[in-house]
């Protein structure tokens, strides 16, 4: 048997055709003033499968609900706990169909009698965390947290690729600066290596007696010894520049990924 524990504001528990399962999971609210509301978007269990719901931190004593094949999401409706804990125990056998399973929405709610600094649902007037708004999940049960209101419209309009607009702009600026830095580094590296390459001036007397002649490496075997040295120097210089470029690129990517993680956490 597997046992899990999570402290949440809201969660979606999904199960589909899980055989020979004996799993227990406990959820807790962040505040003692909160309790849980459980609501099924889908519920179709096999008659030998059971989902036990306990109003507490352990799967002991009497359960609040025992759900099986005779239950549907309409007959169950919304389930509310009295405490700030809820424990689910799911037991299945070795047989089932692809249609067997459930989708359970769990939301930490605060009763209307308490002050609400976050979001108050329209119908039940429960208070839920603002992190649960506009996330595609009906946490309130009446859809008010996902309504096409000004709040959700502003939330969608103020994000680009899942990031807030200000963080997206800052990320683009940093990315451009990193790219410019890499280009400048590559250019400086190239000229530094070029300046460090030794040059051998021609003897003036030999230059007058024997005018310079160009010998291609492929056709003039007598002068082929001069070509590998130059090509090796250029190859080493280019390789060093490439290594320097890749080092800068790897550092810039690491910095950008770290910045993106920070922006996601802050969001």
Domains annotated for the chain, with CATH where assigned, are 6-156 (2.60.120.290)
Average pLDDT of the chain to the nearest whole number: 79
- The answer to whether residue 70 scores a pLDDT higher than 60 is yes
Q: Return the residue matching tokens 């309409």.
A: 74
The terminus-to-terminus CA distance of the chain in angstroms comes to 37
Q: Cβ distance 78 to 123 under 8 Å?
A: no
Among 12-26, 184-198, 219-233, where is mean pLDDT lowest?
A: 219-233
- 102 φ/ψ angles, rounded to the nearest 5 degrees: -160, 160
Give me the residues paired with residue 105 across strands: 12, 39
Q: Is 155 exposed, middle or buried (0-12, 13-18, 19+ CB in 10 A)?
A: middle
Q: Return the residue matching tokens 């759900």.
A: 67
- The answer to whether residue 110 scores a pLDDT higher than 60 is yes
| Cα–Cα distance for residue pair 23/103, rounded to 1 Å | 16
| Cα–Cα distance for residue pair 91/253, rounded to 1 Å | 46
Residues whose CB falls within 8 Å of the CB of residue 73, separated by 6 or more in sequence, listed in order? 39, 40, 41, 42, 43
The overall pTM is greater than 0.85: no
Average of per-residue pLDDT across 195-219: 55
159 or 258, which is more confident: 159
pLDDT recorded at residue 129: 95
DSSP collapsed to 3 states, 2-71: EEEEEECCEEEEEEECCCCCEEEEEEECCCCCEEEEEEEEEEECCCCCEEEEECCCCCCCCCCEEECCCC
Average of per-residue pLDDT across 113-126: 91
- The answer to whether residue 132 scores a pLDDT higher than 70 is yes
């Amino acid at each position: 048997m597997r046992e899990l524990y999570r402290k949440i504001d809201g969660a979606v528990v999904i199960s589909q055709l899980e055989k020979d399962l004996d799993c227990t999971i406990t959820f807790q609210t962040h505040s003692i003033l909160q309790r849980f509301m459980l609501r099924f978007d889908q519920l179709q269990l096999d008659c030998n499968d059971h989902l036990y719901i306990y109003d507490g931190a352990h799967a002991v004593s009497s359960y609040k609900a025992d759900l099986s094949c005779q239950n549907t999401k309409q007959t169950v409706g919304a389930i509310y706990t009295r405490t700030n804990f809820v424990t689910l125990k799911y037991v299945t056998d070795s047989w089932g169909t692809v249609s067997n399973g459930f989708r359970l929405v769990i939301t930490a709610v605060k009763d209307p009698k308490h002050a609400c600094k976050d979001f108050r649902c329209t119908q039940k007037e429960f208070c839920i965390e603002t992190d649960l708004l506009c996330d595609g999940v009906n946490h309130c049960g009446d859809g008010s947290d996902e309504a096409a209101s000004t709040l959700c419209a502003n939330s969608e309009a103020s994000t680009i690729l899942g990031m807030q607009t200000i963080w997206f702009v800052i990320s683009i600026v940093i990315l451009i600066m990193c790219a410019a830095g890499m280009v400048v580094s590559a250019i400086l590296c190239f000229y530094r290596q070029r300046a460090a390459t030794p040059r051998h001036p021609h003897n003036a007397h030999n230059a007058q007696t024997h005018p310079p002649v160009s010998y291609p490496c492929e056709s003039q075997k007598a002068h082929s010894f001069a070509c590998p040295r130059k090509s090796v120097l250029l190859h080493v210089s280019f390789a060093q520049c490439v290594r320097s470029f890749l080092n800068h690129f790897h550092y810039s990517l690491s910095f950008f990924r770290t910045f993106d993680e920070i922006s996601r956490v802050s969001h």
